[in-house]
Structure formats: structure tokens, C-alpha cells
Chains A and B, each alone.
Chain A
Amino acid sequence: MSNSSDSKPGNRILTIPVRDRGAFEAACADATDSDAVRVAVVHITGEADDGEGYLESGEPGMPAVLAAVQAPVVASLSGRIDDRALELALAADVRVCDAGTTFALTQPGRGELPSDGGTQRLPRIVGPALAADMLLTGRRVTAPEALAAGLVTEMLPDDEAAARAVEIAAEISARGLAAGRFSKEAVLKGADMPLDQSLRLEADLAILLHSDPERTEGIDAFKERREPDFRGKPGYRRDDPGR
């Protein structure tokens, strides 16, 4: 689906590991700091409560670390996406799942409150009614219901979500790097503002983007009726000395 699949996906598309806290944090830092990373993918499976990775508690929680990533993050979900696994998924930007995936927050049933975004990101993504249902009753939500609610935006036959997430990441990686990061920032930061202020934020980001060489390439490509080619362009460099 993307002409970028022949580029180095390990470079442009960074896979964030979730079973090793140190590797997870290093990858998340890379997805913000490295201008080679255009998009990140995270594969979240909930098949076993093995006590590793995202099941581990810690400060800051893994969802907070993932949510701080500036690059767009695509998550594939399969198995039982419960509790911290769900909270981690909610910190991604685009979510797809296998048809057999289920979702639940079981902490309230044990007298605990989710503490890594389950009470905050969930209602912002699925709406307050379903969030209250999941939080108060612990009800397990099926993949079709998650799709209908916008918790995921695509449901795949079992075992295909992970590959589909990489495909979506490849599509994102062929798009503007700063454009993707700015769009993500506008959506997430603007959500906490009154609409008028959020429109100012969007406009300022759009005009900041005028200085981006990829924007120039994109406009040139449109005028020349060809596909934009962002490969080999310097793109957005946070360490650019020109500031």
C-alpha cells in the first residue's frame, strides 16, 4: 500500500518492544529524538499474565512513556487486552485488533482504580457511556463492539492485526514527518483547550510547518503531478542549528 516498503523499515518504522522495560524506554526515546524514525509500531498481546513488560508497574507507567512519544504510534492488539495492556494501547494513536480480541478493565472489581490513564484516555476515545460501563461493571468488550465505539479503527481476521499495523505504519512513514508529529500534537494538545484557542494552536503549527522542506516537496509534487518523495530530504531535525 506504500511505496516506502522498499526503504529500511527498521529505520523509518521503529518497533517498540513491550516486554523489556529498558528496551521499551529506549525505543520510546528514539521515536521522539531520532529524525530517522517516522512512525512507531507497538504489538500488544494479552495472552498470558506472565508478569513481564507492560504488566509491570513503575513510575512513570509505561502508558505515560508511550504517550510522550512525538512520532505517530500504531498499535496492534490481540488476545485479552486488559488493565495495563489496555491502558498502554490507549496511549497509542491508531489501534487495530484481531477479531478475537477482547477488552476489559478488571481493577475496579478488585477495589482498585486504574492509574495509568484508564479513567482518562478511555472516555476520551470511546465516550463516557462505554467507559463508565467498563469501569463500573468490569464488562468485557468484544472486538466488534470496540470497532463500533472507535476504540479500534480496524478489525482483522485473527493473527493479521500485527501485519496490518505495520502496513498502516508504512503508509504513515511515507507521509510528512513533521506533518504527522504536528497533527498529533494539534489533536492531543488541542483537546484540552476551548475550540477558539485550539484553532489558534492549529494555525500556528500549520504556519510553523512552512519552514519544513518536506512541505515544500509535497507542494512541488502536487504541482508536478507526481508522488511526493520524502526519502533523502533532511526533514524535521530537532537539533537543527538554524534556530
Chain B
Amino acid sequence: MTAAPFETVTYEKRGPVAHVVLDRPDVINAFSVQMRDDLSEVLFAIRHDTDVAAVLLWGAGDRGFCAGADLSEFGGAPSQAAARQARWARDVFGALRDLPVPTIAALHGHVIGSGVELALLCDMRIAADNAVFSMPETYYGLIAAAGGTQTLPRAVRRGRALDMLLAGRRLDAAEARHAGIVQRVVAPGDLDGEAERMALDLAALDPALFRAVKAALAAARDLPLVDGLARERRLSIMLGRGVGERRLAGAYRRPIEYI
């Protein structure tokens, strides 16, 4: 089953997994305004599609996942006020981060700038061993603006993040795994299969459990420990009630009533 075609993104459902492919391989899937809009529509569709139980984000072509923002489009904002308005009017990066189902980035080749940032907004990352990660923004007088100055230090801690952001250090796949950018590294020929297997595993999770884990991890990231522990306790109780409700619904053959 395939949704309506987009110019720069391919969206295909295979079983419970939504495959989202950045699809501008001639420019290593550089992230353009059109891609932002296409991805926004895809993410909106996924958010409201109860058949989708996991999302796998790919880059088309052999050369890499994503070469970063399409700088050929930069410099055209009518004003800073307008640019700020546009940034939050269509917050595609927030939409990706806040999807209610597990998201996995499958990475190969060039993973640059916004490519790293998109990946870091997913829940899990798997990379082919030919992947190379870099944040070149300051080379062009720019700063990372798709969350990278925040998500990268939260993934790899302060020292490594500053080295990548300020000095442009590149990490290969093994280094990226050691640093905490990716959780798995596989041979390039195995990326498709392993990523899909991961997605199917995560798609089989109880959706309520996934949302509880994601909310608990956000609390661990954002809250003082004492507040995070209280949130964890509440999430655990709510999830437990949900388990009882699902059992009852099964026993009496009635729909689940979500709390």
C-alpha cells in the first residue's frame, strides 16, 4: 500500500512499518524546503494512521543518508521575523521527535549536518560501517539549526559535541557508536535487513509501553531526579492499569477503553 507520491520523499507502508525515504539521491538527499514540506505531510499522515506501528527513515542512493541542508536555497528569508515565524509554523523536526510510534534512522555513507540532526530526532539509530558523521555548519558561517546543538551533546556529551560543532571533527561509524550517536553498526549489505528487523521488533511493542518509556526518558533528560522518579512512578501505575484493562477487554471481547 503506497500513499500519494511526493517530490522529494518516498513513503511506503510495508506491514506495520512506514518506510520514509529522503529521495534526492543526485544531491545526496540534501534537505530542501520542498523536502521539509513533503516530510511534514508524511509525518502528519503517519501520526494519524493507526496501522503504522514503527517508522524507518532512510536515504536513497549509494552515496549517503543526507548531505545536510540544501544551502543553495539559503539566504532568501525576507526578514528575521519572517524566518522565525516560518521555523515554528511548520516544525517538521518537532513532528519527527514527537511521533507516537518508534522511529529508527538507517544511516549509510554521508551523514552530514541536518542528516545527523534528523537521525538524532529518532528513537534509535543503526548505521552501515561506511557511514561518516560530521557537522560542518560553522565552516559556512552557520550554526546547526535542526536541534543539533542540543541533541548532539545529549547523545555524546559536551566535549565530543563541541569538537564536532566547533572544529568539524568527523566520526566514522565505529566512533559514532562508541560516542553514542548510533546504537548498532552493520555491514552495508546488511543495513536493509537489520534495520527492517529492528523496526519490526519495535513495531511489536505494546504501544502504551513504548509511549511510557519515551515519556520516562524525556523526564530523565529534562527533569531533576526527584521529579523524574515521581513521573516514572505515575507512568508505571498508568501503564499497569492499562495492562489490566487490556486483559479485561480480551476476556469480555470488548474494545479496549484507553485511560
A binding-site residues for B, Cβ under 8 Å: 72, 74, 93-95, 124-127, 148, 150-153, 168, 171-172, 174-176, 178-180, 182-184, 186-188, 190-191, 194-196, 198-199, 202-212, 214-223, 228, 230
A161 to B218, CA, bound (A): 38
A214 to B150, CA, bound (A): 23
B209 interface residue per 8 A CB criterion? no
Interface size on B, residues (CB 8 A): 47
A164 to B151, CA, bound (A): 28
B244 interface residue per 8 A CB criterion? no
Partner of A153, one of B80, B83, B137, B160: B160
B binding-site residues for A, Cβ under 8 Å: 71-72, 74-75, 77, 80, 83-84, 87-88, 93-94, 137-145, 147-151, 153-154, 156-163, 165-169, 178-179, 218, 221-223
> How many pairs of A and B residues are in contact by the CB < 8 Å rule?
162
26 A-B residue pairings within 8 Å (CB atoms): A93-B163, A94-B167, A126-B157, A174-B139, A175-B138, A180-B138, A183-B143, A191-B153, A194-B222, A196-B222, A199-B147, A202-B144, A202-B149, A203-B84, A203-B88, A203-B145, A206-B145, A207-B80, A208-B80, A210-B83, A215-B140, A218-B140, A218-B141, A222-B74, A223-B71, A230-B141
A222 to B71, CA, bound (A): 7
Partner of B159, one of A153, A174, A222: A153
Contact B140 A93, beta carbon cutoff 8 Å: no
Contact B163 A153, beta carbon cutoff 8 Å: yes
Known contacts A168-B167, A187-B165: A175-B147 contact under CB 8 Å: no
A187 to B75, CA, bound (A): 24
A206 to B74, CA, bound (A): 12
Closest to B94 in A: A199
Known contacts A180-B138, A183-B138, A218-B141: A175-B161 contact under CB 8 Å: no
A202 contacts which chain B residues (CB < 8 A)?
143-145, 147-150
